Amino acid sequence: ETIPSSVMILDALTRTIPDAAYLTEFSLQNATVRIVGLASDAPALIAPLEKSGQFADVHFFAPTTRSADGLSYMFHIEGRVTPGPAARK
């Protein structure tokens, strides 16, 4: 009850991740969200996710690798979903 729905989490991710990056996988298990995708600057995704207030302890859970085209990097990021405003009261 204290964790936002997967739709709300996905909405927060789409508002936080830059348009130049995109997700290929999204997983939510309890309070842990995992995303996999491609971005030109994968390390630059961590800080905005943390600053969004929706996620904490954001980190890579697998190595970031260069894609076949050589222009982007495949990232694997994991974080803990923070409780919504109603749960924080």
Any idea which of 6-15, 53-62, 71-80 has the lowest mean pLDDT? 6-15
Phi/psi for 37 (5° steps) reads -175, -165
pLDDT higher than 60, residue 89: no
**57 torsion bin: left (phi>0), alpha (psi -120 to 50), beta (else):** left
Q: What is the pLDDT of residues 56-72, one digit of tens each?
A: 999 999 999 998 888 89
> What band does 35 get if pLDDT is binned at 50, 70 and 90?
very high
Q: Which pTM does this prediction carry? A: 0.84
Host H or E run for residue 50: helix 46-51
**How confident is the model over 10-38, as a mean pLDDT?**
92
